[in-house]
């Protein structure tokens, strides 16, 4: 009888935790970059549009990144005997791990 009560209490607590977890995961803070401030971030591309993308860093904050025609997209070179490949902006897709370097603009986004 006592084990049954303990089991039902534990299942209620676990169910409540499971229901609250997705809501907590979607409330990531949005990072803003000061105007003209140079910044370098590493993270994962969360969303992508034609001229902008959102990168989530390891702390869970989302940073808006503006991508223009002058943005250089280069692979991280590991082999010293081979040059790094250049890629078009269309190669930036959701789930891709990136490192972005740029300066902040008036809207708080990072201009790559």
The per-residue pLDDT for range 25-82, each reduced to its tens digit, is: 444 456 778 888 898 999 999 999 888 999 999 888 899 999 988 888 888 777 788 8
Cβ-based neighbour number of residue 33 at 10 Å? 21
Confidence at residue 109, expressed as pLDDT on a 0 to 100 scale: 87
Whether residue 106 is contained in a domain is answered as yes
Confidence at residue 45, expressed as pLDDT on a 0 to 100 scale: 94
Q: Compare 9 and 89 and report the one with higher pLDDT.
A: 89
Confidence at residue 94, expressed as pLDDT on a 0 to 100 scale: 92
* Total number of domains constituting the chain: 1
Give the predicted TM-score (pTM) of the model.
Answer: 0.67
Cα dist from 28 to 25, 97, 100, whole Å: 7, 18, 19
Domain, as residue range, for 90 = 29-111
Whether residue 4 is contained in a domain is answered as no
Separation CA 20–CA 101 (nearest Å): 35
Q: ∠ CA(73), CA(78), CA(79), 5° rounding?
A: 115
């Amino acid at each position: 009888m006592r084990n049954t009560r303990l089991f039902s209490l534990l299942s209620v607590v676990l169910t409540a935790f499971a229901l609250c977890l997705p809501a907590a995961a979607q409330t990531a803070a949005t990072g803003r970059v000061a105007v003209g401030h140079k910044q370098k971030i590493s993270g994962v591309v969360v969303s992508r549009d034609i001229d902008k993308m959102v990168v989530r860093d390891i702390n869970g904050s989302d940073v808006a990144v503006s991508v223009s025609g002058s943005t250089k997209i280069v692979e991280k070179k590991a082999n010293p005997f081979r040059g790094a490949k250049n890629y078009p902006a269309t190669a930036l897709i959701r789930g891709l791990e990136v490192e972005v370097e740029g300066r902040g603009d008036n809207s708080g986004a990072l201009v790559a």
